[in-house]
A and B are shown apart, each in its own frame.
Chain A
Amino acid sequence: MPKELQSPMDSANPAQDVQGIWGMTIDQDLCTGCQACVAACSMENNVPFVGEVDAGYGRSMQWIRIERFWQGSYPNIKATPYQPVMCQNCHNAPCEPVCPVFASVHSASEDLNLQVYNRCVGTRYCANNCPYQARVFNWRDYMDPRQRPELVTLSNHWNPDVTVRRRGIMEKCTFCIQRIRHAEDTAASENRDIRDGEVVPACAQACPASAITFGRINDPATKVSQAADTSRGSHLLEELGTIPHVTYLAGGA
């Protein structure tokens, strides 16, 4: 586990049941901003399409978004590198303690943030407290074909492994936990550990530039830990002490 991912609490009392901490690196020098990860994520996780009007009003529900800014003023404009942002699965997640009903909880064994859809009552406190603005809210029943007849055909494309969420609840990137569970089950049935690269989230799978690497960051041998350990790595809003599990790589040759 890279040193910066360890909190003082961990070094004092290492969790006994840590199986493997999942993490991700995103190489901003490779990212072309093609939005394939956004599309793949939406298809994999049954993320609804909210329509033009709501999307324009800040209600788009993509679990991953690609940020890009312009620096300077015209004509001396420079674009910043593309920055895909999703839930950073923080070790010290600000979204977790503020939920009054334990809908936003932490997996101690894998250091993941979990969102319990059927426990959420929709106070939206977690979304306010998320410094990355990574959480999205079901403002309407976007997935209900009775309310949106144009979606009737789309309902055949839903991923059966992922819950379809209803209005009034919060959701976010899960690091494709259904794929993690599938790999864990396969490994357990074959009586072995999960191999590096066995779990590929939808965004990483779809990325044509292979900018996204996923794996266990507590094992120094994995590709993802080696990539994260380089001097190019940084975390979003590191100063807040959230200890995120996504490392951004930028500034390389």
Chain B
Amino acid sequence: MSALTKPLFAGSKAEEQEDPKEHLMHDRMPRGEMNSMMLDSMHSTTWKYWTVTGVLAAIVATCLFYAWYYLIMNGLGVAGVNRPVYWGIFLVEVVFWIGISHAGTFISAILRVLKVEGRRPFTRAAELMTTFGLVQAGISVFLHMGRVWLSYWLIPIPNERGLWPDFHSPLMWDFMAINTYLLCSTMYLFLPLIPDLAMARDRATGWRKTLYKILAIGFRGTEGEWKNLKTAMNIFAFAIIPVMFSVHTIVSWDFAMATRPGWSSTVFGPYFVIGALHSGMAAVAIVLFLIRSTMKNMKYFLRPEHFELLGMLMLLVSMAWAYFYFNDYLVPWYGGDKWEKILTNFIQTGPEWYLWYLMLFCNVVVPWAILWNRKWRRIPWLLAIVGFLINVGMWLERFIIIPETLTINRMPFTWRLYVPAIEIALTIGNFAFFFLLYMLASRLIPLIPVWEVQEGQESHVLRKIGKARISAVSEID
């Protein structure tokens, strides 16, 4: 244990009076008690839980899987795609869900690497978001394909006919990047889960015991095991950050590499990464609010201070998004290219003009107007509403970038509006599936990384310097 200490919160006059027990890290609880609190929340299921799960499962079965079956049997004619809008809401969903999935890695890996203590109770929920978001993105890719039953042709499998995917295609890069990300993020989700699974194994009975026994892969908590686990987690936390940046950059290249007005933009890479973080952070706020207000014992783990941290990140990312959007907007506008001009006019004054204004309102005005205030940032339901609106805005941003931009091309004879059809049902199904996975996960695996919280509580002490009480954290390395 090194003696390095740093103040966790500075002592302004108002905060001096603050009860340190408000901070999770100082509100110590015996290990056994905390463990059984977590397990208790996983075991307790009310009729409300089963109703919501049942409704979600029914929506997934009809809106996602039955509608998908119908789509496959009848062809893409039942969707709203046409010429020139060859890519519709399916691709909007792909970009949206990959964006959602970025928050997990960002919050978990970047905040872990930077040793931000406030991350401790909600890394797991954020990491789950990465995996569950990628599941939805993957489904949307398959929904989009004309002949989905041949999608394995995208995989480079050596075969006797010498057929091989074309690595010139941005779609191929995208396919590789998403698969890499899915594999890395699933492993990265699993590693910090092992000690919690072992904890659950030691306290569970029946089928749960068997399940956790398999999942915990024999973790007993010896010094050597912890050392190896920490090393592995450290490697993954550093390695997954460039993977995360590359994934959404490559997703943006699907558009930026094309020779189309509105798409062929050099700023798309970083702009998409920031956009992904914007929607992802906001989604974490929604999920944390739902966990906190519906699951047992969660008010102990998820506190206003965590929402405050999240609110600050959301505000920061919103500002960064506005900066990149301004770049993406200003340069084509100033350049005055004929087609870019027509496109900008169409987006802002065309039949769907209100979407553009709604996007800016949700993505910039709402977070800037609310999240600057420390008191408001600490209100969980308010943060959930802001998060919802940001997600509406980011969904609209992708809608404007894909179907609306595709409406305008260099052959005006083919211009035509896009009217979504079966995509609406499938979108509802995607969202229901995302929440259904969370519902199931909340009762199967500990949604709060208990060992991380315990580790944090052990490394925090209150020091008295004069009259002030300073929170100090020692690094356990």
Q: Are B76 and A122 in contact (CB under 8 A)?
A: yes
Q: Does A193 contact B (CB under 8 A)?
A: no
Q: Does B150 contact A (CB under 8 A)?
A: yes
Q: Are B165 and A139 in contact (CB under 8 A)?
A: no
- Main SS of chain B's interface residues? loop
- In the bound complex, residues from chain A placing their C-beta under 8 Å from that of B74 are 140, 167
Q: Does B416 contact A (CB under 8 A)?
A: yes
Sort chain A's interface into a size bin: 35 or more
Q: Are B411 and A133 in contact (CB under 8 A)?
A: yes
Q: Are B166 and A99 in contact (CB under 8 A)?
A: yes
Bound-state CA distance A192–B412 (Å) is 44
Q: Are B257 and A98 in contact (CB under 8 A)?
A: yes
- In the bound complex, residues from chain B placing their C-beta under 8 Å from that of A94 are 258-259
- In the bound complex, residues from chain A placing their C-beta under 8 Å from that of B230 are none
**A209 nearest CB across to chain B (Å):** 21
With A100-B166, A101-B165 as known contacts, state yes or no: A54 contacts B77, CB within 8 Å: yes
With A100-B166, A119-B163 as known contacts, state yes or no: A127 contacts B86, CB within 8 Å: yes
- Main SS of chain A's interface residues? loop
Q: Does B171 contact A (CB under 8 A)?
A: yes
- In the bound complex, residues from chain A placing their C-beta under 8 Å from that of B82 are 57-59, 139
Q: Are B146 and A137 in contact (CB under 8 A)?
A: yes
- In the bound complex, residues from chain A placing their C-beta under 8 Å from that of B257 are 98
Q: Does A128 contact B (CB under 8 A)?
A: yes
Q: Are A125 and B146 in contact (CB under 8 A)?
A: no
Q: Are B154 and A58 in contact (CB under 8 A)?
A: no
Q: Mark B145-180, 1 if CB is under 8 A from A, else 0.
A: 111101101100000000111101111100100000
**B88 nearest CB across to chain A (Å):** 10
- In the bound complex, residues from chain B placing their C-beta under 8 Å from that of A54 are 77
Q: Does B334 contact A (CB under 8 A)?
A: no
- In the bound complex, residues from chain A placing their C-beta under 8 Å from that of B259 are 94, 129, 131, 240
A-B contact count (CB 8 A): 136
Q: Which of A57, A59, A102, A136 contacts B164 (CB 8 A)?
A: A102
Q: Are B153 and A121 in contact (CB under 8 A)?
A: yes
Bound-state CA distance A69–B411 (Å) is 11
Number of interface residues of B (CB under 8 A): 44
Q: Which of B75, B144, B175 contacts A141 (CB 8 A)?
A: B75
Bound-state CA distance A119–B153 (Å) is 9
User: Which residue from chain A places its CB closest to the CB of B257 in the assembled complex?
Assistant: A98
Q: Which of B86, B146, B413, B414 contacts A168 (CB 8 A)?
A: B146
Q: Are B151 and A69 in contact (CB under 8 A)?
A: no
Q: Are B145 and A122 in contact (CB under 8 A)?
A: yes
User: Which residue from chain A places its CB closest to the CB of B82 in the assembled complex?
Assistant: A58
Q: Mark A166-201, 1 if CB is under 8 A from B, else 0.
A: 011110000000000000000000000000000000
Q: Which 10 A-B pairs have the closest CB atoms?
A: A122-B146, A168-B146, A167-B75, A140-B77, A58-B82, A139-B77, A58-B416, A124-B86, A168-B147, A67-B413
B residues with CB within 8 A of A? 74-77, 81-87, 144-148, 150-151, 153-154, 163-166, 168-172, 175, 254, 257-260, 406, 409-414, 416, 419
14 contacts between A and B (CB under 8 A): A85-B413, A99-B169, A100-B166, A119-B153, A121-B146, A121-B150, A124-B86, A125-B169, A125-B258, A139-B77, A139-B81, A139-B82, A168-B76, A170-B146
